[in-house]
Amino acid sequence: MLNYIWMGMLVIGFIVGGINGKLGEVTQAAFNSSKSAVELSIGLLGILCLWTGLMGVAEKSGLISKISKIVSPLISFLFPEVSSKSPAVGAIVMNLTANFLGLGNAATPLGLKAMDELQKINRKKDTASDSMVMFLVLNTTAIQLIPATIIALRAASGSGNPAEIIIPIWITSISATIVGVIAVKVLGYAKRG
Amino acid sequence: MGILALLRGLIIIFNNFSDYTVPLIFVVILTAGIMKRVKVYDVFVDSAKEGINTIVKIIPSLVGLMVAIGVFRASGALDLIICVTKPITSIFGIPSEALPLAFLRPISGSASLALVSDLMKNYGADSFIGRVVSTMMGSTETIFYTLTVYYGSVGIKNIRHTLVAALLAEATSVLVSVWVCAFFFGR
What ipTM describes this predicted complex?
A: 0.86
**Residue B22 pLDDT exceeds 80:** no
Put simply, the answer to whether B48 touches A177 (Cβ < 8 Å) is no
Residue B84 pLDDT exceeds 60: yes
CA pair distance A131, A95, nearest whole angstrom: 14
Instruction: Write the pLDDT tens digit of every residue in B152-177.
Output: 999 999 999 999 999 999 999 999 99
Q: Is the dihedral of CA A48, A50, A53, A54 positive or negative?
A: negative
Q: Is residue B165 part of a domain?
A: yes
Query: Helices B143-154 and A104-120: crossing angle, nearest 10°?
Result: 40
- In the stretch 82-101 of chain B, residues with CB closer than 8 A to chain A read none
Residue A68 lies in a domain: yes
In chain B, which among 9-38 make CB contacts under 8 A with chain A? 14-15, 17-19, 21-22, 25-26, 29-30, 32-33, 35-36, 38
* Structural domains in chain B (count): 1
One-letter identity of residue B104: L
CB atoms within 10 A of CB B52: 13
A162 domain residue, yes or no: yes
Residue B4 confidence (pLDDT) = 65
Least confident of A119-128, B13-22, B115-124: B13-22
Contacts of B172 in chain A (CB under 8 A): 175-176, 179-180
Which of A40-44, A129-133, B52-56, B84-88: highest mean pLDDT?
A129-133
Name, in order, each residue with C-beta under 8 angstroms of B144's C-beta and a sequence gap of 6 or more: A1, B106, B107
Domain around B151: 58-185
pLDDT score recorded for residue A145: 86
Is position A172 within any domain?
yes
Q: Which of residues 136-165 of A touch B (CB under 8 A)?
A: 136-137, 139-142, 144-147, 149-150, 153-154, 156-165
Residue B22 placed within a domain: no
- DSSP lists the bridge partners of residue B158 as A127
Which residue in A85, A106, A109 sits closest to A97, CA to CA? A106
Question: Which A positions 111-140 lie with beta carbon below 8 A of chain B?
Answer: 111-112, 115-116, 118-119, 124-128, 132-133, 135-137, 139-140
Q: Which residues of chain A have pLDDT under 70?
A: 1, 193
Give the span between the Cα atoms of A54 and B88, in whole angstroms. Answer: 43
Question: Is A182 part of a structural domain of the chain?
Answer: yes
Query: Which CA distances in Å does B89 have to A60, B97, B169?
Result: 46, 10, 18
Q: Would the CA dihedral through B154, B160, B163, B167 be positive or negative?
A: negative
Q: Could you tell me if residue B176 is inside a domain? A: yes
Interchain CB distance below 8 Å, B59 and A37: yes
Shortest distance between the Cα of B69 and any Cα of chain A, in A, equals 7
Would you state the pLDDT for residue B8? 66
* Cα distances (Å, whole numbers) of residue B51 to A149, A152, A171, B28, B165: 10, 12, 26, 21, 32
Residue of B nearest to A99 (CA): B141
Of A66, A136, A150, the CB nearest to B166: A136
Residue B69 CA, distance from chain mean position? 17
Q: What is the CA radius of gyration of chain A?
A: 21
pLDDT digits (tens, 9 = 90+) for A68-117: 778 778 888 899 989 877 888 888 988 888 888 887 777 888 899 899 99
Establish if B42 belongs to a structural domain.
no
Q: Which of A54, A154, A161 sits opposite B29 (nearest CB)?
A: A54
Beta bridge partners of A185: none
pLDDT value for A46: 85
Our count of domains for chain A comes to 1
Whole-number pLDDT of residue B30? 93
Asked whether residue A150 is domain-assigned, the answer is yes
Tell me whether residue B148 is in a domain.
yes
Residues of chain A neighbouring B173 (CB-CB closer than 8 A): 141, 172-173, 175-176
In a domain, A53, yes or no: yes
> Furthest-apart CA pair in chain B: how many Å?
59
Q: What's the confidence (pLDDT) of residue A193?
A: 56
* Contact between B85 and B96 (Cβ < 8 Å): yes
> In terms of residues, how long is chain A?
193
Would you call A121 helix, strand, or coil by DSSP? Answer: coil
Rounded to a whole number of angstroms, the distance from the CA of A80 to the nearest CA of chain B is 17
Domain, as residue range, for A113: 46-192
CA distances from A79 to A89, A128, A134, B95 (A): 9, 13, 7, 37
B123 assigned to some structural domain: yes
